[in-house]
Amino acid sequence: MSIERKIVAHSHTDELSNRCPVDHKAYSQQKTARVVEPTDSPISCDDAGIWHVRSFDAARTILRSAQTKQAGFNAEKLTKLPSSMRPSILYLEGKPHHQQRKQTARFFAPKVVSTRYRELMEKFADGLIAKFQQRKRVDLSRLSLEQSMCVIAEVVGLTNSLLPGTARRLETFLSDADTHTGNSRIHIILRSLRAQILMAIFYLLDVKPAIKARKQAPREDVISHLIGQNAKDGEILMECITYAAAGMVTTREFISVATWHFLEHPELRIRYLTAPEEERHEILGEVLRLEPVVSHIYRRATADLRIESGGKSITIPEGALMDLHTYGTNADETIVGEHALELCPGRVLHGDAIPSALMGFGDGQHRCPGSYIAIQEADIVLQRLLALDGLYVERTPTLSWNELITGYELRNFFLRLA
C-alpha cells in the first residue's frame, strides 16, 4: 500500500488522533544526547565554580535576566576585536541588542516568512525532491544543507555570489573552527591562518558582491539594513556568518533528525502528514524538545543573581559562568510530565506560555529570531519527503559533535526509494 493510500485509510481514525502515535515500550527514544542528564540536579555548582542548570524555570529566569550576558559561541574572545568594530547581534546586550532585534524583526516575523519566503521554500524543495525521485538515492545531510541555505541566503542577502557553493564554504569554515590539531605555537598559528583564509574566501566570493549589489539597489534583507546603518564591511561579514551559519546549521540538523524519527515511527509519520499546519508545527516542536540542536547555552552573571528552584533560593555570584543543559531543561518532568525522554506529540506542558520545543530555540532576549523560518522550512521539506512512496533508510547517519555550537551533526544519512 502506498503512503498516499495509507494516509487516506488513517485520516478519519479517532484512535490515532486521541493517543500518542509512538510506542512507549522503550525508555528513551532520544538519538543525539551525549550523556544522560540527571533528573535530581536542577541546579548545581561544580568544583570549578561553574553553575549547571537543568531546571526549565531556572534556565528561563537566567535567560530573561538583565543581569547576565552571552558567554557561548566564543563570546568572551571578543575582547581581542578592535574597539572600533561593532559586535555581532549575537554578542550585543541590553539596549543596543534590543534595538537591533527590533529593527531586524521584520525579516523573521511569521507573517513575513509565510508571505515572502514560502513560495521560495516550496519551489526549492520541489526541485530537490524531484532530483531524489530521479536518482532514487540521496544523502539527506546534503539535501538539508542545500535547502536550509536557500532561504537564509535570501533573508541575509547572500544572493550575488561570484561562484556557486556558498553553503559548502560556510560549512568548511564552521567545521574548521571546530577542529583542534594541537596546541603548540605552530599549530595555533596555522589554525589562525587557515581560518583567516577561509573567511577571506567567503568574504570575497559571497559577502563583498552582495554588499556592492545592495549599495547600488537596496533590498529588504539584513545586509541592506546594515548598509543603511553605515556598518563596515568587516561588521557585515561577521553578521553574515552569525545569521547564515546559525540558520543553516540548526535547520539542517533538525530536518535530518526529524526524518529519522518519522521513518522509525510509521504511525507518527502518517499523523504528521495528515495533520493541519498548526498541529504539524507542534509535532516538530516536540521533536526539537527531545533533540535540541544546541545542547548547552552559556551565560555569565554580571551581578549576583537570585534563582528560585525546588522551593529554595539560590544566589549565583557575579562573574560566575552558567551552563544551561538544554537536554536537561527539555526533560524537566515538572514541566513535561512522565516519559520525558520519549517522543510524545500533544503532551501536556505544565506552566505558563511554554512552547512545545521548550528551550529548543532558547529564550529571553537572545532567543533564536529565525525559529519560525526553521519550523516552516522543515515542515515544507518533510511534507514532500515523507509523502514519497517506498521511502526507507539505507544507512543511518553518523553522529558527531561540533564543540563551537555545542551541538550534534548528522552526516552520511542515506535514503532510498524502492
What confidence score (pLDDT) does residue 405 get?
81
What is the C-alpha to C-alpha distance for residues 37 and 120, in angstroms, rounded to an integer? 40
The CATH code belonging to domain 3-80+87-417 is 1.10.630.10
Helices (H), 52-184: 56-64, 94-104, 110-112, 118-135, 140-156, 166-177
What confidence score (pLDDT) does residue 14 get?
38
The label of the residue with cell 502506498 reads 2
What is the C-alpha to C-alpha distance for residues 66 and 303, in angstroms, rounded to an integer? 9
What is the C-alpha to C-alpha distance for residues 267 and 23, in angstroms, rounded to an integer? 9
What confidence score (pLDDT) does residue 182 get?
65
Whole-model pTM: value is 0.88
Domain ranges within the chain, ordered by starting residue: 3-80+87-417
Radius of gyration of the chain (CA): 22
Question: What value, to the nearest 5°, has the Cα angle with vertex 65 and ends 73 and 53?
Answer: 65
Question: What value, to the nearest 5°, has the Cα angle with vertex 126 and ends 130 and 413?
Answer: 65
Percent composition of the chain: helix, strand, coil (DSSP 3-state, to 5): 50, 15, 35
Mean pLDDT per 10-residue interval, the chain, length 418 residues: 38 41 65 90 95 97 94 66 70 82 87 91 97 98 94 93 92 71 75 88 97 97 95 93 84 97 97 97 98 95 92 94 97 95 94 95 92 96 98 97 88 97
Residue 327: closest CA among 73, 31, 37: 37
The label of the residue with cell 605555537 reads 185
Q: State the DSSP string of 387-417.
A: TSTTEEEEEPPEEEEETTTTEEEEE--EEEE
Grouping H, G, I as helix, E, B as strand and the rest as coil, residue 247 is helix
What is the C-alpha to C-alpha distance for residues 403 and 405, in angstroms, rounded to an integer? 6
Q: How far is CA 363 from the centre of its chain?
A: 13
Grouping H, G, I as helix, E, B as strand and the rest as coil, residue 154 is helix
Residue 413: closest CA among 263, 276, 235, 233: 263
Question: What value, to the nearest 5°, has the Cα angle with vertex 74 and ends 71 and 76?
Answer: 55
